[in-house]
Structure 1
Amino acid sequence: MIPVKAYPADLIQQAVNGDKEALEALIKQIQDRIYGLAIRMLWHPADAEDATQEILVRIVTHLGSFRGESSFSTWCYRIATNHLLTTNKRRAERMEMTFEKCEEEIQSGIAYSWSHSTPEAEQRLMVEELMIGCAQGMLLCLDRDLRISYILGEVLELSSQQGGEILHITPVAFRKRLSRARSLLRDFLNKHCGLIEPSSSCKCDRQIPYAIKTGLVNPQKLLFADHPRRDQRGSSIEQVLNEVSELEPVAGFFHSLPDYAAPNTFVENVRRIVGLHKSNNPSLSHR
């Protein structure tokens, strides 16, 4: 068997030549990165899964066009970001979230009164669910260009040179976008988030009743707290506060969020779809 961590150049050539094991290993090597980018851009795991599959199919069917002029990961990110920036709006984006709307929701949550006793373990899961969903919701308040720049530069910690190369803009333009995104998120979170500013009246546990009422948190179907992860870090309040204290607060907040694992269905799905593409377009077999 070919190890998943085999050198990409070998995998690329073998996959282009029709080696199924190489193709499977290549998909496994890149799927988590692409999925992590997609879920931060689109919020909902199901939408991120659909987008990731579309991106992986595009990567696999265009392997023959990779010339090695940039790193393979940069090439993959370029395909992924182009898709995420141009795809139709998904369910969370169609809500047209803004920082003003978020502020209104926060105030409604603070004002909402509901007396309900929840077991501690269940409460901690719901707090984690809300915290992650809220953090990713903050990203949706940024337009797509700023959002993707923030994810690449702040969350994935790519350099302005790498970010610019991926987005087909200059490093200076990338830094400007990143700076603008940082400023918008910092201003909002410093004002409203109790994790960033302890004096703020918005606390995750206080927002749970309203989040359940509005459907942001579904105790019977958690989107984020139960999602498989690449790492075993928790996203507990304690973990977040530790990250916030060690880094610039807002950056620490986003760094503390889980690194999600992609669904294990991608390899078979991409194989099947690519097989259909090849049967309908035999020229793909020679790319």
Structure 2
Amino acid sequence: MNEHLKKRIEKANLGDRKALESVIIEVKDLAYNLSLKMLLFPEDAKDATQEILIKIVTHLSTFNYKSQFRTWVYRVATNYLLSYKGKQAREFAMPFEDYSDLIDLGQSDIVKYSKNDGELLLLEEEVKVSCTQGLLLCLNELDRIVYILSDILEFNSIEGSAIVAITAENFRKKLSRSRAKIRNFMNNKCGLANPDNPCRCKKKIDFLIDKNMINPKDLRFAKSSNRSIDLVQKIGVLEKSVAIYRSTPDFPTPQAILEEIKQTLNIN
């Protein structure tokens, strides 16, 4: 464990508010991005992140330095997310069969909402990330977090099982089941995962905007300079379904979350 981080945690536990703030800053993006992967909708992820950060602060004294602090943070976050039912995530979640039908609906060769190539590229990226992240909601909560921890965040079965508090054997079984479901779906539907499929990202833009699933004036995901769609095409070693998820960049935690936490904890 980083000695500097260890000292900050120790100071925070002794009541040093500045040290506590720096610990929060250290882990806020981990909590937010895990919440976003689990819940899809930034509004749900923001609410979950705030609660997770409060739990990290209030339980910081229980960290025993025997594991990596990052692993402990994920354990706290996972415990919360497995019981948290985000409103939008709960309403959107559906079986794989229904998600397949949704993907097949409303395809169009013309994108009326884009005024230039730059806007079109951003909207296509927004669809790609929204679609693949939304697919995760077809898994139940435990299978979903197991898949995220292993195939996206690259925890091994020993680390992952400790985070979700199940046996390593059970973790591997759940991972195998989740992988098969995601892989089979993408191989049958996704043009990025299987070139024999047509890529529907561009064709779905207008439909998803009309259904208010994407707001062209307030994109949730397509704000990175490098499109993850383009990155996937350059990855040849990883299985494509895994590469698609790992290509999606991490997103910075909204500043409002940190400000609210600081107010809650009376950190000036």
Q: Which residue of 2 aligns with 1:235?
A: 227
Q: Which residue of 2 aligns with 1:171?
A: 168
Deviation by residue 1:2-31 (Cα, 9 ceiling, x = unmatched): xxx863221111001111221111011111
Deviation by residue 1:142-198 (Cα, 9 ceiling, x = unmatched): 110110001100100001111011111111111111111110000000000011112
1:222 to 215, 219, 224: 219
Distance 1:89 1:264 in 2: 20
Letter in 1 for 2:234: N
CA shift, 1:68, in A, is 2.1
Tell me which stretches of 4 or more aligned residues in structure 1 moved more than 6 Å: none
Distance 1:68 1:148 in 2: 24
Unaligned 5+ runs, structure 1: 227-231, 277-287
Letter in 2 for 1:83: Y
CA shift, 1:115, in A, is 6.3
Tell me the TM-score normalised to structure 1 length: 0.87
Identity of aligned residues (%): 39
Tell me the TM-score normalised to structure 2 length: 0.92
**1:190 lines up with 2:190 in the alignment:** no
SS of equivalent residue, structure 2 residue 250? coil
2:202 to 199, 205, 225: 205
Contact 1:195-1:203 at 8 Å conserved across structures? no
CA shift, 1:265, in A, is 3.2
Distance 1:50 1:151 in 2: 20
Q: Which residue of 1 aligns with 2:241?
A: 250
Deviation by residue 1:74-116 (Cα, 9 ceiling, x = unmatched): 2111110010001134312222322111111122133x57563
1:180 to 154, 177, 181: 177
Q: Which structure's CA Rg is the greater one?
A: 1
Letter in 1 for 2:54: V
Distance 1:9 1:98 in 2: 44
Distance 2:194 2:124 in 1: 17
Q: Which residue of 1 aligns with 2:131?
A: 134
The CA RMSD measured in Å over matched residues stands at 1.9
CA shift, 1:236, in A, is 4.3
Q: Which residue of 1 aligns with 2:142?
A: 145
2:97 to 93, 97, 100: 100
CA shift, 1:202, in A, is 4.2
